[in-house]
Every structure is written in C-alpha cells, then in structure tokens.
A and B are shown apart, each in its own frame.
Chain A
Amino acid sequence: NAGVTQTPKFQVLKTGQSMTLQCAQDMNHEYMSWYRQDPGMGLRLIHYSVGAGITDQGEVPNGYNVSRSTTEDFPLRLLSAAPSQTSVYFCASSRDRGLAYEQYFGPGTRLTVT
C-alpha cells in the first residue's frame, strides 16, 4: 500500500494563478481531509469529506474548493492564489467516522505564492 500520496511536493505560484493539489489514498478510507500548517498555528482544517460525493467546509475554507468523485481521490483547488495561501498543505484519511480511528497523512505539499 502506498498509503496517502500527494503531488506535487513543492510548488511556486504567482498571485492570481490557480492550481490543484492532488491527494489519493489506496486504503479504501471513507474520511478524507485537507489541512494547512502555518508556523505557530498547528494544523487547520480546510475541507473534509465523509465519503464519495460528500464534502464540507472546515475552519479555513475561503479560497479553496474540493470535490470527491471517488473514494480514492480528494483534490484541493486553489481558485486564485494569494500570498496568504503560502503554507504547507497536508491531506489525510481515516477509515470512517469512527472516533477511534487515527488519520493517515500524506507527505505534504509546500506551496509558495509570490
């Protein structure tokens, strides 16, 4: 099993550009999430999905869109990049809504917006 994979690992964007961060998992997990990590702020939830076709907003959803057309994939789209979106982005998955299930994280994408 590859676990949770994310591409790209690094990305530099200019203000106003759009892009999609890819996330895939091969564990048949129902629950997937996107976080951003900024210094001193821990991990903040952007969007999450409890299953294919179902997504919802987290704590900091503005400027980001998601979709979940398959169980495996959960891409994150930046609509019009801004310098405030410079961050490290993590995708994570867990088996389902069970409270005992830990999340498995991807390796992260380091995004810089100039």
Chain B
Amino acid sequence: AQKITQTQPGMFVQEKEAVTLDCTYDTSDPSYGLFWYKQPSSGEMIFLIYQGSYDQQNATEGRYSLNFQKARKSANLVISASQLGDSAMYFCAMRDVDSGTYKYIFGTGTRLKVLA
C-alpha cells in the first residue's frame, strides 16, 4: 500500500544554514511522482519541487533540492541558506498509479522553525 512517512514532527535551523527534511515512501508501482509542499502559518499550500521516479538527476528549484535515493525509497528536501520566511509546515507527497486511481497521498508534515 502507498505510504509516506515524515519522522520529524519539528525541526529548528539557524538562519543561513542548510536543513534537510526527511521523507520516506512506500509503493509497489515503478512509476510515481514525489512532491514537496510548504504551508506557512497563513494556511495556503505552496508547491515547491517535484521528482519523478525515472529522473536520473535530483530535482532543484532555487534554494530547494530533493535528495532522491530510489533504492532507499527516500526523497528528502534540502533547503539551503535558510531564511526566516522558510518557517512553515512542510509536506511530502506521492502520486502513483495505485490501481488506476492516481491519488496523491501526504505525509504528516514537518514544522520548520528558522532562528535568527
């Protein structure tokens, strides 16, 4: 069955440092997509980055990169040079075929606090 696990309920990072948010997934489908979303205190969900299961290279979007280790089924988000505005909830999500439903499933999230 599909599953996304985020084991870090909360993380702290000093401003300007890098931080890694962990995400592991489980699926029996060979084709899937992995996503990270940010949810600031204002509540909206913001798409950050996508990684496909067949992508050879790790995805990057500005200060965000995805450390994709397929054999270990992990898709960790790396935020470089953290900023105060990065303080938010971060969700890892996966989409696979799942018997033709193409549903997205989400992890429980990691709350990141950036310290000045």
Contact = CB atoms under 8 A, between A and B. Distances in A.
Interface stretch (B14-22, B71-79, B101-109): B101-109
B45 interface: yes
A84 B76 CA distance: 33
Contacts of B44: 105, 107-108
Interface residues of A, number: 27
B69 interface: no
A35 B95 CA distance: 15
Given A41-B108, A42-B107, A100-B33, A108 B43 contact: yes
Interface of A: 31, 33, 35, 40-45, 48, 50, 56, 58, 88, 90, 92, 94, 97, 99-105, 107-108
Interface of B: 6, 9, 31-33, 35, 37, 43-45, 47, 50, 52-53, 91, 93, 95-97, 101-109
13 contacts: A33-B103, A33-B104, A35-B106, A40-B9, A42-B91, A43-B106, A92-B104, A99-B53, A99-B96, A100-B50, A102-B47, A103-B35, A103-B45
